[in-house]
């Protein structure tokens, strides 16, 4: 048995940063990783997918070159092997960087293998037993596979195995019309695949406002993506070398046949076979580790960070988990999960930047609210770039004059939304931003103008 001050299981976004802080504080740290360093973001999530999104954007712009007065000798061709090679290189460099960082930490020992808790202070990795007064779980999540009739009889892809493709699907059928499904759908349509997105609900990305959902559906359909909603009775079966998906929709053919099937219906935590029961760590009905506002589990001395705690499903929420834990343990700073404002992006083109409440959530809250909305056709920078799909929307509390939420669906939306998010974090009234002097020409310069058009919600 080897003794440490802290054991960190998993090297996603929270684990390595926490190992760095703890080791620099003089604590003896053991870092355990069962597979590839860097977690989902580095290996199968943010970095590889956004690298491929960039390739898809380049293909789209090449096809539109004539719109900008640029004449190419012929139509562009996408080489999927080169797309994959570029993605692998970017992702691989990041993975090597994380591993080198962790292995180079003072007071830190890296162990590779599958970790299991055998008690509230002990962890087993192979034949080795480790003990520590503090244990941090950063084990991440993976794609969920729905209990769809026939799913065990057909080949299918997930967000992880999509990363292995170096050939172009003839017809990619995507089950799941939410964030992951929409990003892959647009990406592969731009690479040249026929794409059908099948969504069980009445509209895409049901957690967003209806105007956001409708606008995204509109520009995806303009690019030739087929969208099937209200698919309430799905099943799958082999059909030749491909797969047939039976749907029950209000319109359209009852069966969609494709060459490849991608399941994009959500995530589940990697908490099975982690020995949580042996340590007495509580989980909810979906397998997420139950944590309090400081991310401590039901067992004192054990924390859960990142996707496995169900308190966020993004790289930035995982890193913020690290910041909260480090602040409370090392800095004497009383930080809480409940203090943070929900924020995320959908990386379609154009992207959606989101912060705080949706308009629907604000209405349901019972507050008196003000709402402003501006189409991207009235944003000069968007017109100059020839990218005018989408709109900007902000929701404000009429009493406090503080911003409750924002949706920036348009070119640069994933960056522009931070101007509003910063104001929300500062709890400043929206008037503060109105008095700023933004740079012209930018998309962000229209934020003060947008706020100047606030009106009571009807």
Question: Is 440 an annotated catalytic residue?
Answer: yes
| Residue that is written with structure tokens 């397998």 in the block | 287
What is the Cα–Cα distance from 393 to 42, expressed in whole angstroms?
A: 32
Residues 409 and 381 sit within 8 Å (Cβ to Cβ): no
Residues 175 and 247 sit within 8 Å (Cβ to Cβ): no
Say if residue 350 is exposed, middle or buried (CB neighbours under 10 Å; 0-12, 13-18, 19+).
buried
Residues 28 and 89 sit within 8 Å (Cβ to Cβ): no
User: Which tokens hold the place of 307?
Assistant: 């996707």
Helical segments of 192-340, H only: 210-222, 276-279, 315-326
Q: How many helices and strands (H and E) does the chain possess?
A: 13, 22
User: Which tokens hold the place of 242?
Assistant: 């491909």
For residue 308, how far is the Cα from the chain centroid?
A: 14
Nearest-5° Cα angle at 309, 306 to 313: 55
- DSSP code string of 299-319: STTEEE-GGGGSS--SHHHHH
Q: In what order do the strands lie in the sheet with 235-239?
A: 235-239, 242-246, 255-258
What is the Cα–Cα distance from 94 to 204, expressed in whole angstroms?
A: 32
User: Which tokens hold the place of 441?
Assistant: 């020409």
User: Which tokens hold the place of 356?
Assistant: 């705080």
Residues 139 and 296 sit within 8 Å (Cβ to Cβ): no
- DSSP code string of 339-354: GSPPEEEE-SSS-EEE
What is the Cα–Cα distance from 240 to 311, expressed in whole angstroms?
A: 42
CA distances from 149 to 172, 178, 231, 267, 286 (A): 19, 21, 14, 19, 21
Nearest-5° Cα angle at 186, 181 to 191: 125
Q: Which of 4, 260, 418, 440 is catalytic?
A: 440
What is the Cα–Cα distance from 148 to 245, expressed in whole angstroms?
A: 10
Using DSSP's 3-state secondary structure scheme, residue 366 falls into: coil
Element spanning 269, H or E? strand 267-269
Which are the catalytic amino acids? 440
């Amino acid at each position: 048995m080897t003794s440490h001050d802290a054991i960190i299981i998993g090297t996603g976004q929270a684990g390595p940063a926490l190992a760095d802080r703890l080791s620099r504080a003089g604590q003896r740290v053991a870092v355990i990783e069962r597979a590839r360093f860097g977690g989902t973001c580095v290996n199968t999530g943010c970095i590889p997918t956004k690298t491929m999104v960039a390739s898809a954007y380049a293909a789209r712009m090449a096809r539109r070159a004539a719109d900008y007065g640029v004449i190419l000798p012929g139509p562009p061709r996408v080489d999927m092997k080169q797309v994959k090679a570029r993605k692998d290189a970017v992702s691989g460099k990041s993975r090597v960087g994380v591993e080198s960082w962790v292995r180079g930490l003072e007071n830190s020992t890296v162990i590779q293998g599958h970790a299991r808790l055998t008690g509230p202070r002990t962890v087993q990795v192979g034949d080795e037993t480790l003990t520590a007064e503090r244990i941090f779980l950063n084990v991440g999540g993976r794609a969920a596979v729905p209990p769809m009739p026939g799913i065990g009889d057909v080949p299918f892809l997930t967000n992880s195995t999509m990363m292995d493709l170096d050939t172009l699907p003839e017809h990619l059928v995507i089950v799941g019309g939410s964030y992951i499904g929409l990003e892959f759908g647009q990406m592969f349509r731009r690479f040249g695949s026929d794409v059908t997105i099948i969504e069980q609900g009445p509209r895409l990305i049901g957690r967003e406002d209806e105007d956001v959902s409708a606008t995204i559906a509109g520009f995806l359909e303009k690019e030739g993506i087929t969208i099937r909603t209200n698919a309430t009775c799905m099943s799958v079966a082999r059909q030749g070398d491909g797969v047939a998906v039976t749907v029950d929709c209000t319109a359209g053919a009852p069966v969609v046949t494709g060459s490849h099937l991608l399941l994009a219906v959500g995530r589940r935590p990697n908490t099975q076979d982690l020995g949580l029961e042996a340590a007495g760590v509580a989980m909810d009905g979906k397998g997420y580790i139950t944590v309090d506002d400081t991310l401590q589990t039901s067992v004192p001395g054990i924390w859960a960070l990142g996707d496995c705690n169900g308190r966020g499903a993004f790289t930035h929420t995982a890193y913020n988990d690290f910041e909260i834990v480090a602040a409370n343990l090392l800095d004497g700073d009383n930080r809480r999960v409940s203090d943070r404002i929900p924020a995320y992006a959908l990386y379609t083109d154009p992207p959606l930047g989101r912060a705080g409440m949706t308009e629907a959530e604000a209405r349901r809250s019972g507050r008196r609210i003000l709402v402003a909305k501006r189409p991207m056709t009235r944003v000069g920078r968007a017109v100059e770039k020839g990218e005018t799909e989408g709109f900007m929307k902000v929701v404000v509390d009429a009493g406090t004059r503080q911003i409750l939420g924002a949706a920036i669906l348009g070119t640069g939306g994933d960056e522009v939304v931070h101007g509003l998010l910063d104001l929300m974090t500062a709890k400043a009234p929206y008037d503060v931003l109105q008095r700023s002097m933004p740079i012209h020409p930018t998309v962000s310069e229209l934020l003060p103008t947008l706020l100047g058009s606030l009106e009571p919600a009807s």
